Every structure is written in structure tokens, then in C-alpha cells.
Amino acid sequence: METCRNFSGDAPLLERLSCGGAEATVKSMSTVRLKHVKKIYDHAVTAVHDFSLDIADKEFIVLVGPSGCGKSTTLRMVAGLEEISEGELYIDEKLVNDEAPKDRDIAMVFQSYALYPHMTVRENMEFPLKLKKMPKAEINQRVQDAAEILGITQYLDRKPKALSGGQRQRVAIGRAIVREPKVLLMDEPLSNLDAKLRNQMRSEIIKLRQRINTTFLYVTHDQTEAMTLGDRIVIMKDGYIQQIGTPQEVFNHPVNVFVAGFIGTPQMNFFKARLVKDGEGAYHVQVGEISVSLAESVQKALNTDSQEVILGIRPEHIRFTDASDAFTGTVEVSEMMGSEYHLHVACNRQDVIFRVPTVDLPEALRSGIAYGAQIRFDFRPDAIHLFDPQTEQNLR
């Protein structure tokens, strides 16, 4: 008979914590399915419209979008903190619409940490296990193992007021994972931290995800968090799902103007343009007086006649050029970011944003880019996005 203490420190937490002095048990599958879920307040205001999503076992899903898009409301419906107005919610194929939060086998980490100020770190982490009336030895084992993984062992006898924001958030996460939940819900857990701590805690959450066998549903308004943490991202706006995909999919193939502008820093540039099809069936795009070539891969993805379009191009896909038939603009803001410049360039009464690696700068600009400098630029033909101006859907 092998005890918990004999498990390797690299073993998944939920495998190590599930034995309490006995052999490890295998954790059950933790799938989540939302089918046509709606949230309507006061029979008048619909906060979430027809939300459908299948979350696989151990998958890390991120709900992302601007404030008021319905992402936290969706998370709270999964947690049981908000009633589902319409639709069905399944956890491990079991319908849980009418299950109390305590019976759903989920745990939630809040933005505000929600720690008991009069309890020590150890007591905060022990509290949910004591409510379950677990044996003291098992409680001690789980808390100790979670503390080791999260790097808070030395803080177990301190109270929350003696901890930094990042340390408090680790405690909040530890209190959640000692319960061995089927689903771990996280509602903007890093938004109260400064930029350096946010970066550090993102790394900690990535490491944690590799070490515990549970399914994550994470809410944030920060698209950088979404891109770095999620296996898949669910982008929301005004209560509707806009796109579901891997970080690479939503970055490379945004389905509409909103997704294209929301994902990516700085955001995508947009131009009013006209898609023109010549007599040989080839397309190009007319932006003002400039004709923009399209790569063969873009050409093949189009199936439309000449029409008005919105051309989208990311800041990193704009290039300096010496060509006489290129765009010309005036530098209004030059931000040196270390390895790259962020430039704001006035062109045809529009602010165009560049991201330019310093190694790619023309020789004349390597000593610095002054306000008022005149530059010529064009677009990478294979990185151009075209959107219908009426529906705002991607034409590709």
C-alpha cells in the first residue's frame, strides 16, 4: 500500500491529493456542456443569448470580451450563482440546472480573493475541507501539497493582511484546488494585480494547469491573458458568442471586424476600400488612390464580385518601402518599446499604427524616428483581411 507521501512532487495534484493515506484514485472525467443557455433579467434584459459550448475534460477555456458582454454572467450560471433562464447545463453529462452550487463539484476563484481576514492561510485553505468533515490527516496532507505546488508553504501561519496581492491570489487558488473540483472557475483573478505581478501569475497559472487534473473555465477582459492561457478562446460581445477557436485561429482568421479589432495589441488597422476584380479574374484592393496587391492565398479564398470592403491589416504586417506607388504618411507619435517601435502615422486623415522591430528599420531611421518624419509603407499581401462593410463578416 503506497501513501500520498510517496507520490513524486511532479505527480498531478488531484492524483496526489485523492488518496489521504490510501492508494491514489483516478479522477473522473470533467466535461462541461452548455446548450442554448440564456440569461434574462426581469423578463426584459437579456444578458446572455443562446450560448452553446462543449468543454472537454482538462481543457482550459477562456471567456473574453469587453465589460458587459456577459462573460461573468455565463461563469456564474455554471457556478450556480445565477439561475439559467433558458437552456441546459451539463457537468459530466449530468443535467445540473437545478443543482445547488455546493452539489456541482466546482470551485471558484474570485477577483477580490474572498479570503477570511481573521483566519490564517492554513485555516482559509482548510475551511472547505472541514465543512466536508474530512479526517484531519487528509486535510493536513491536501493543504501541505497544495501549498508546496503554489509556493506558499512559508505563509501558512500568516493572515491575509500580511500577504501581497499575488500571495493572496495563490491562497485563493489553493483553497479552491484542495477541494479537487471537477471544474475550476476563475473570474478575472488577476485584474487587481499590477502589470509585473499579472505576468508572473499568468505563468503560475500555466504551470498549475499542467500539474492538476481539472477543467478550467476562466473569465477575463484582457486579451493577452486569453491568448496566453487558453486552449480555446470564446470571444463575446453584447451577450453573443462572436467566435470560438484556438488563440492562433482567432488571431489569424477573425470571423468579423469586432474579433479582428479586439484580438491583437495594438489593434488591427481598418481602411475603407474597394475590392476590384479585373478582366482576368484577379483581385486587388483600391484604398484611396493606392492599389493594393493580394496574395494568391487571399485570392483563392475570395468568391465575390467587385464591391466596397473594409480592409484590415495588423500593425506588425505593415512594411517600410521605397516604392513610389506606396502609401505616404507623417509620423505623429513614436514609442520606443525596446526591441520595436510603435508608430502612429497620419495618412489620408487616418491614424495608422505600426509595430516595427528595430532591426527592420531603414538605415536612415535607426538613430530615432522624429515627429513629422515622412515615410512610405505598404502591406504584406498575404496578411490582408477583407470584411463586408454591411455585415462586418470576413470575406475569406
The side-by-side arrangement of strands in the sheet containing 374-379 is 318-320, 374-379, 327-336, 340-347, 350-357
| CATH code of the domain covering residue 289 | 2.40.50.140
Answer yes or no: is 10 within a domain.
Answer: no
Residue 97 resides in a domain: yes
User: Is 346 a domain residue?
Assistant: yes
Q: How many helices (H) and strands (E) does the chain have?
A: 10, 20
Residues 216, 137 share a domain: yes
Per-residue confidence in pLDDT tens, the chain, 396 aa: 333 433 334 444 444 444 443 333 445 578 999 999 999 999 899 999 999 999 999 999 999 999 999 999 999 999 999 999 999 999 999 999 999 998 999 999 988 888 999 999 999 999 999 998 999 999 999 999 999 888 899 999 999 999 998 899 889 999 999 988 999 999 999 888 888 888 888 988 998 888 888 999 999 999 999 999 999 999 999 999 999 999 999 999 999 999 999 999 899 999 999 999 887 778 999 999 999 999 988 888 887 777 999 999 999 999 999 888 899 999 999 998 888 889 999 998 999 999 988 887 877 777 778 899 899 999 999 999 999 999 999 998
Query: Residue 285 belongs to what domain range?
Result: 266-387
Using an 8 Å Cβ cutoff, are 113 and 172 in contact? Answer: yes
Query: Residue 334 — φ and ψ, nearest 5°?
Result: -130, 115
Asked, for residue 293, whether it belongs to a domain, the answer is yes
Q: Which of 376, 344, 338, 372 is nearest to 357 (CA)?
A: 338
User: Do 286 and 276 form a contact (C-beta atoms < 8 A)?
Assistant: yes
* Nearest in space to 179 (alpha carbons), one of 113, 245, 108, 115: 108
- Angle CA(249)–CA(254)–CA(257) in degrees, nearest 5? 165
CA 337 to chain centre: 23
d(CA 60, CA 227): 11
In a domain, 341, yes or no: yes
Residues 168 and 69 placed together within one structural domain of the fold: yes
